[in-house]
Chain A
Amino acid sequence: MRRMFPILAVLVALAAAWYAAVAPMNIRTALDQAKRAGAVVTPEGARVRHEVSVWRLLAANSEHIPAAYSLDRPRLPTPGQVAGELWKTTGEMALRGRAFSKRSLLYHGWITLQATLWGFALGTTLGILGAIAIVYSRVADMSLMPWAIISQTIPIVALAPMIIVLSSQVGVEGRGVPKAIISAYLCYFPVLVGMVKGLRSPAPSQLDLLKTYNASARQSFFKLRLPASVPYLFASLKVGIAAALVGTIVGELPTGAISGLGARILIGDQFGTPLAIWAALFAAALLAGALVTLLDVIQRITLRRMGVHP
């Protein structure tokens, strides 16, 4: 509880700042709408209002401030509006038995989650195999490692449309595969780096001990290097799954996808419905939090079972 108090205090302060920012962000739209509805607004003309600063508008039209908090298409929605939209597109639809209709964020979250998990599985496999190659082969170490770093400095978003074009030309239907490739591209690197560190973590004396036992390379890998790398692996898996989700959403954003959380953001942008964008953003944040927490729990259980005390 004592650890939670500062976090809660900061969260409350952030929410308060957000709430306070809504009025200056939305007052222009609110005044335009009030004017159209026939209310008295100072100053009168739309062009004059455009040149007056937001703060003077707020001071002169204090009776219209509440309207800024309940716009249909706000520039900045209130936390309450976002939560309401999130509930409307998840919980409420689930209660009505339409949890997986195409308007529900649960459906879009599920699409994103699938691609993320495929990308995560692919990226983790590649990362672990690459790390084994790097640890056991000097050529791989010298040639792969620099390119692994360079690959992460290349902005994947530039490649994303090409990956989608290529995979559709090769005959892959749907967007699941290209999205998974993009997310694996972002996800393999932390796993690779963590596993290289982990596989190299046994001390020389421990490796020597296995040599005195006449252990084969396979035995020393499975009985010493692999178990020693598990704490490193989990630390990098947590980074990796977050990166995989970023990759999936990046794969959905610029490419005209129609399902998935990134596609909801895209569609919300095209149709000018900010609430849909914000709800999809928060759904993505919740998904990221849930995935990282899940891996954290698995990490704790595994490490306790293995007798590691972190």
Chain B
Amino acid sequence: MSLLLALGFWLGAWGANIAIANSRWRRSLPARVAVPVLFGLALLVLWEGLVRFFEVPGVILPPPSEVWAAIQRSPDLLWEDFRQTVLKGALSGYLIGCGAAFLTAILIDRSPFLTKGLLPIGNFVAALPIVGIAPILVSWYGFDWHSKAAVVVVMVFFPVLINAVQGLRESDTMQRDLMRTYGASYWQTLLKLRLPAAMPFLFNGLKIASTLALIGAIVAEYFGSPTRGMGFRISTGVGRLSIDLVWAEIAVAAVAGTVFYGVVAFIEARVTFWHPSHRRK
């Protein structure tokens, strides 16, 4: 019965999506929101239906309704972990790392020699599995959120750095010559021409860094943390078979990651409103 309901809902949502996507209103905002939301809902319903029909035990894979119940049962615990991991670990590390990378980019941009030397190295380092540095930093800075922030700083630094340096070189010679004919100083050129031109690149780096920040903060908690934090709760929850709580933490982490990314993307749309990819069609 539950399987039939779930399959029915899934097919219905699919049909509705096809209808919306081929309708006249497909470019309108409600349609562009409704289609992915329906898709996600259909997946959740399918998950619920399959788990109920095959009577999968809750210690293996709980249905979404039980995960939701677990979220409602322990909001204080989830909020405490959220504060420890996201607000203290990830966010402070993100701000420090991105700020440091941005300032470094402005400094090395003044020297073509340093730019030529650092850009290839930065590109290489950005492709490395830096998460592995987590145990070292945890042993240096202790178990509390400082070590998590340190891991995040190291992880976000290079992607932001290379994007910022590339962005600062983005304004073309004509534009820079124009600034020179105006008699603009270095700082005027930087503030009025080169920084605005760098923004699309910088935000690209900031968006990549926003997803890296949460990964870094959670991985670092697997290597030792005080008795709170998402990574701590997940690793101990798996051992204690409180799987519904683990999924609740995963849900919180997923929402936190999406909101984090969404906020950065929102600021980007405000700051780089002039860029072709953000102009109103």
Contact = CB atoms under 8 A, between A and B. Distances in A.
Interface string A133-173: 00000110111111101101111111101100110010000
B136 interface: yes
Interface stretch (B18-26, B98-106, B166-174, B267-275): B18-26
Contacts of B238: 161-162, 165
A152 to B, nearest CB: 6
A292 B120 CA distance: 13
A280 interface: yes
A162 B124 contact: no
B60 interface: yes
A249 B60 contact: no
Contacts of B40: 147
Contacts of B118: 10
A82 to B, nearest CB: 12
Contact of B215 (A8, A157, A288): A157
A265 B135 contact: yes
Q: B18, B136, B246: which has the most chain A beta carbons within 10 Å?
A: B136
Interface string B124-142: 1001110111111011100
A91 interface: no
B180 interface: no
Q: A139, A144, A158, A166: which has the most chain B beta carbons within 10 Å?
A: A158
B132 A262 contact: yes
Contact of B121 (A10, A143, A157, A159): A10
Nearest to A291: B127
Contacts of A142: 17, 20-21, 26, 31-32, 35-36
A274 B39 CA distance: 47
Given A75-B139, A250-B219, A158 B60 contact: no
A16 to B, nearest CB: 14
Given A155-B214, A158-B249, A254-B222, A288 B117 contact: no
B258 A161 contact: no
B281 to A, nearest CB: 15
A309 interface: no
Q: What's the dominant secondary structure at chain A's contact region?
A: helix
A76 B210 CA distance: 28
A169 B56 CA distance: 11
A268 B133 CA distance: 12
Given A10-B117, A169-B60, A143 B36 contact: yes
A146 B34 CA distance: 11
Interface in A269-294: 269, 274, 277-278, 280-281, 284-285, 288-289, 292
Contact of A154 (B21, B134, B140, B258): B258
Q: What's the dominant secondary structure at chain B's contact region?
A: helix
Contacts of A155: 211, 214-215, 218, 253-254, 257
B235 interface: yes
A261 B129 CA distance: 11
B38 interface: yes
A155 to B, nearest CB: 4
Contacts of A249: 129, 131-132
Contacts of A239: 127
A159 B247 CA distance: 8
A246 B218 contact: no
A285 B132 CA distance: 10
A7 B250 contact: no
B131 A246 contact: yes
Contacts of A143: 17, 35-36, 38-39
A109 to B, nearest CB: 12
A157 B233 CA distance: 13
Contacts of B114: 6, 10
A277 B116 contact: no
Interface in A200-252: 238-239, 242, 245-246, 249-250
Contact of B140 (A75, A144, A250): A75
Nearest to B257: A153
B215 A268 contact: no
B260 A153 contact: yes
Interface in B238-267: 238, 243, 246-247, 249-250, 253-254, 257-258, 260-261
Given A158-B230, A274-B136, A253 B131 contact: yes
4 closest A-B pairs (Cβ-Cβ)?
Answer: A6-B117, A10-B117, A269-B135, A143-B39
Interface of A: 3, 6-11, 14, 75, 138-139, 141-147, 149-150, 152-159, 161-162, 165-166, 169, 238-239, 242, 245-246, 249-250, 253-254, 261-262, 265-266, 268-269, 274, 277-278, 280-281, 284-285, 288-289, 292
25 contacts: A10-B117, A10-B118, A11-B117, A14-B121, A75-B139, A139-B17, A141-B21, A142-B31, A142-B32, A142-B35, A147-B36, A147-B39, A150-B254, A157-B215, A158-B234, A161-B246, A166-B61, A245-B129, A253-B222, A254-B219, A254-B231, A265-B132, A274-B139, A284-B132, A285-B128
